[in-house]
Structures are given as C-alpha cells and as structure tokens.
Structure 1
Amino acid sequence: MKVNGVVISEEAISKEVEHHPAESLQYAVNKAAEALVIRELLLQKARAEGLGGDGDISSEDEETLISTLLDQQISTPKANESDCKAYFEANREKFKSPVLLEASHILLAAAPDDDEKQIEMKALAEELIATLKSQPEQFASLAQLHSACPSKDIGGSLGQLSKGSTVPEFEKVMFAAAEGLFDKPISSRYGYHVLRVDHRVEGEPLPFEAVEDKISHYLDHQVYRRAISQYIGILAGEAEIEGFDINAADSPLVQ
C-alpha cells in the first residue's frame, strides 16, 4: 500500500490493527489501513506546508504535527444559542434527569463456570420467588438467610440506584422492571438475583439552561468532525493512493 509513493507496510498495518477492535478481523484490518492512509496524507500535507517533521519523528511528534496542521487549516463556526435551542426542541426526549430506583435483592452466589452451582442457585431463586409471591413480607428474612451480598443485613436493600451503579446484565433487567417483585431469577456474573423494585422515579424533562453547554459542545464537535472528513477527502482526491480505496470506506473518515 502506498500514499504518493510512500510505502505503508503490512507490519505497520498489523500493529495498527490492535487499535481497531472489531468482530471481523478483515474489518479491523481495513480500518487500520484506512487510519494509516489518513495519517500519511496529513503528515505529507503538514510537511508540504512547512510545519516540520522531515525524516523520522516519534509518534508523539507526528500527533503534534497533525494537530498543528488541522488547527491551521480548519476553521468551523461555533454553535450559537439559536442552534442549540433548535437541537433541544427537536430532541427533547434525550434531555431528562436519570431514572432512579430503590431496590432490594437476594444474591445467590454461583461462579459462571460452576454449572452445578448455577443450576442449584437458579432453582433456589425460583423457590424464593414462589414463596415471596404469597408471603411478600418474608423478603428481609429470606435475604438475611440466603443472600451472599452485604445488603442482607438491611433486608437486601440496595438503596437508591441510577444507571451505572451495578453490573450491566443485572441493571438492564432492573431498570426495565416495574415496581414490585420481579417474577424470574436474574442471572449475572455473580450468580442469580431475586429482585424487588421498591420505588421508581422516572426521569424529568430538563430545562434548556441545564443542557445548553452540553448541546453546544456536541454541535461544535459534529461540525468539526464533518470539516475534517471533508478536508481529508480533498487530500485523498489530490493524492495517488495505491492498494487501498479510501472512497469505499464504510464509515466516516475520522472517528
């Protein structure tokens, strides 16, 4: 693979693949090749503009050179209040306070690779759920008796939770659940959980003033990304690139 006669080796692509995790090796290789082509285009342009970097330089110096080039070549307008308000009005569902839960659980511990224990704890969880359906007042005592979580000493209470407070596999089910006893055991990396959602507070709409800065930053970033992508497209159109079709890339040129 070459960019204006400069060779990008297979070894360089193999090293770059480490920075592009993907489900498919071929996809990762393509993304690595694309990244190296873009990098070489920018470095060559920086040198042509007299910004330095002749000969071998470190990766850190290359990054500095590219940043200097982009700062010099790309100027984008900043989002104003009108832009931010328009985005806010079109995307109100995105701007809410987080959902909060008060929940309790009984953790029946089982290592992921212990199949026998997994079966045993799932069966016990089902038994406890059946008991709690008819005797809900027994939750605290059953937590004290069976739970492997320190919360057993306070009736299994996990207190107030927001998203990100616990492991994703448990959290996903918990935040989708209605108030009350969840009727199935929930599997996680720790074993099985018997869950009771004690109270749920839905997210409230946030006022524009609370999110204006966040929207402004987001819009500025999107405009800047598009400008960089267009700039790289121009450089690619002027360059002689062998062994890689940058126009066939299936994602934005700059991530």
Structure 2
Amino acid sequence: MGISVNDVEITDDAVERELPHHAGAPVPLKAAVEALVVREVLLQAARNKLAAEQDALRAREASQAEDAEALVEDALIERLIELEVTSPVPTDEECETYYRKNIGQFRTGDLVEASHILFQVTPNVPLDALRAKAQEVLQQALAQPEQFAELARTYSNCTSAEVGGSLGQLTKGQTVPEFERAIFSLEAGQIAPRLVESRFGLHIVRVERRAEGRTLPFEMIREKLAEYLTEQVRVRALRQYLKILVGQANIQGVELEGAQTPLVQ
C-alpha cells in the first residue's frame, strides 16, 4: 500500500528529493517520509482555512521565482501556524521561578583540567572482559595515583595517552554529558571512584585542577531566558497542534502519533 494523506499520495520521487535533508537522522527514510506526511497534513489544513490568502499569495509569487508554488505552500503553512499555534510570553515571575529551580544552568566560567584512561568498546573485545580490565586498572590508579600518567600511556585507547591521558582545560559543553557530569563533580586531585561510562567506552577519570566560575544574576539573563521559555512553549504547542491534525487525517502507509482530543485551545 502506498503512502497518502486524505487520498493525496506521497510519491517515491518526493521521498527521494526529501531524503538528503535527513541524512543525519537515525533512520533517514523514516524521517523523510514523516516530514512529507506532516507537511502535507499542514498544507491541507492551511488550504482549507486560508483559501482567500492562497490566491493572493499565488498572485504575488507567480512572477518572482520558478518555484513559486513551493513558496506559496511554505507561506500558507507559516500563516496557519501563526494563526493556530499560540505562544504566550512568560511573566517575569515565571522566568524567575525557572531561574531559581535551575540555577546550575546559569553558571559561567567553571573550568577543570582533567585526564582520563579510555577503554574503548569495540566489536572484537568482549564487554565483560573490557570492564574487568578497566576495573583492575582503576584500582591500581586509586592505590597509586602518582602512576596515573603511566597507566594512561600503557592502557588508554585515546590519543591523549601520549601525554599521560591529559585532556587539558575543559569548560562545560566541550565533552559528552555523561563525561562532563563526572569531571565537574570531582575535586582537584581526585580520581573518580567508579568507571565513567560514555558512548566512547569506559573511562578512568582524574581532575588535576579546577577553577570555579560564577552564577549569572537574574537581571543579566532575564531577556534571553524569556526568549528561551517562549520558544519552548511554542514548540510544545506546535507538537500538540500537529497531533490534532494527524489524528484527524486519513493517513495510509505510515503510522504517526495522533491526538483523539483537542490539546490546543
């Protein structure tokens, strides 16, 4: 069975043209198909609601570009979202409440100098054996921390092994989240007592030095925080609106999550 939205077919040619835009998705073909289906759902809703504006847009764009129809469709969808998806601006009180509850997000300047020993997970090495060896080396490092650099040169699968495992100075956002949480929780000179697991493998981690940053005052970040919270509300509202449209549409050939009851007022 082919893919269609209210009897409008999503063609193979359309999917092929859309596919390059989703090369980074876990399943590019699925992402491309879903994007086309959602676009068609929105476009049909826009045409139903904005018939008069569609004619005006088509007249305006007709002489301006070869792909005038695509520009008309994009403009219709943008106008529909503008009319149907509301994004209330948060109050100062709401912004300040978020600030207080998430105060750690507003620190700047925290810096650590860290080293690690990486046991990289590879298809050819049994994970249990790798973990056992990493645990053995961790115990050696905890018992004789002065040998950390030598252990890194001997065992680490990272290029930093050449410099004793040193990663230099790191700020927040420079490493994967699981590794960042570990290094910023340690004191200067401390080795993490447990292996740190990341997408790269198993790490033995030591912090050499750290410099504390400061918390930005609310007054300094109020405007940016309001913009961020407004965007978060808009994204949630748009997702809810799409669920409604998907739930109302007759979609064949692919399953998308729909909504059975109105979620947006």
TM-score (norm 2): 0.61
C-alpha distance in 2, partners of 1:123/1:61? 61
Letter in 1 for 2:56: L
Q: 1:186 to 1:252 in 2, by over 3 A?
A: farther
- Pairwise CA RMSD: 4.9
Alignment length, in residue pairs? 237
Q: Do residues 86 (structure 1) and 93 (structure 2) align?
A: yes
Aligned-partner Cα distance in 2 for 1:158–1:86: 41
Distance 1:148 1:233 in 2: 46
Question: Structure 2 CA distance, aligned partners of 1:51 and 1:186?
Answer: 60
Q: Which of 111, 117, 121 is the matching residue for 1:106?
A: 117
- Cα 1:113–1:199 change in 2 (3 A) is same
Match of 1:43 among 22, 39, 47: 47
Within a 5 Å distance, the mapping from 1:1-255 to structure 2 comes to: 7-9=7-9, 15=15, 36-49=40-53, 50-53=55-58, 58-68=69-79, 79=89, 84-91=91-98, 92-95=100-103, 96-98=106-108, 100-108=111-119, 110-116=120-126, 118-175=127-184, 180-199=190-209, 204-221=214-231, 243=250, 248=260
Structure 1: stretches of 5+ with no match in the other structure? none
Q: Which residue matches 2:62?
A: none
Q: CA deviation at 1:42?
A: 1.2
> How far is the alpha carbon of 1:38 from its aligned partner?
2.9
Specify whether residues 252 and 8 from structure 1 end up closer, same or farther in structure 2 by C-alpha distance, changes over 3 A only. farther
What SS is found at the alignment partner of 1:152?
helix
* Structure 1 residue 224, shift from structure 2 partner: 5.7
Are the equivalent residues in 1 in contact too, given 2:141–2:151 (CA < 8 A)? no
Query: What percentage of aligned pairs have identical amino acids?
Result: 33
- 1:177-202 CA-to-partner distances (Å, cap 9, x unmatched) read 56621223334444432111334566
Give yes or no for contact 1:105–1:158 (8 Å, CA) kept in 2.
yes
- Give the aligned residue type for 1:144: R
Query: Counterparts of 1:155 and 1:77 in 2: how far apart (Å)?
Result: 52
Deviation at 1:113, TM superposition (A): 0.8
Q: In 2, are the aligned partners of 1:51 and 1:69 still within 8 Å (CA)?
A: no
Give the C-alpha shift of residue 249 in structure 1: 6.2
Contact 2:38–2:242 at 8 Å: present in 1 too?
A: no
CA distance in 1, matches of 2:240, 2:145: 62
Note the alpha carbon deviations across 1:219-242, whole angstroms, 9 max, x for none.
Answer: 5446766887999999x7xxxx66
Distance 1:119 1:217, change over 3 A: same
State the distance in 1 between where 2:239 and 2:139 align.
Answer: 58
Asked if the contact 2:114–2:169 (Cα under 8 Å) also holds between the matched residues in 1, the reply is yes
| TM-score, normalised via structure 1 length | 0.63
CA offset at residue 62 of structure 1?
1.0
Contiguous gaps of at least 5 residues in structure 2: 60-66, 252-256
